[in-house]
Amino acid sequence: MFLASTAQALEPLELTMLNIDGDSTALSQYKGQVVMMVNVASKCGHTPQYTELQALYEKYKESGFVVLGFPANNFLGQEPGTNEEIKQFCSLNYNVTFPIF
């Protein structure tokens, strides 16, 4: 017996999410752009990628490219900070200006 789901999966850009400041953000505002969604963490071996991600964002944002950072603590506890701590870390250490959620 096979069961078919009647629920439709949402596309990522159909979602509304809370940004790092707690504001509701419709990802639909990025439709038509090249969107790079990246899992980030401040205590990870890949943390220096913030430099390259920011450089990509700065270089191509006027051409319709956006980086969206998604901090997550569910990989070995590598992002234990609060939203405010994460935001300050990204700004002070890597001058991050791309959207973080």
Tell whether 3 is covered by a domain.
no
Tell whether 5 is covered by a domain.
no
**Active-site residue identified among 44, 58, 61, 65:** 44
User: Quick check: is 44 catalytic?
Assistant: yes
Q: What percent of the chain has pLDDT over 90?
A: 79
**DSSP 8-state class, residue 7:** P
Tell whether 65 is covered by a domain.
yes
Residue 12's pLDDT band, with cuts at 50, 70 and 90, is confident
The 3-state DSSP class for residue 60 equals helix
User: How far is residue 11's CA from residue 22's CA, in Å, rounded to a whole number?
Assistant: 22
**DSSP 8-state class, residue 71:** E
Tell whether 37 is covered by a domain.
yes
Indicate the burial class of 61 (C-beta count within 10 angstroms; 0-12, 13-18, 19 or more).
middle
State the total domains in the chain.
1
Q: Rounded mean pLDDT of 60-72?
A: 97
pLDDT at 34: 97
> Which residues span the domain enclosing 77?
33-101
Tell whether 13 is covered by a domain.
no
The two structure tokens encoding residue 76: 């070995």
Over the stretch 17-60, which tens digit does the pLDDT of each residue have?
Answer: 999 999 999 999 999 999 999 999 999 988 999 999 999 999 99
State the CATH number of the domain containing residue 41: 3.40.30.10
> How many residues does the structure list for the chain?
101
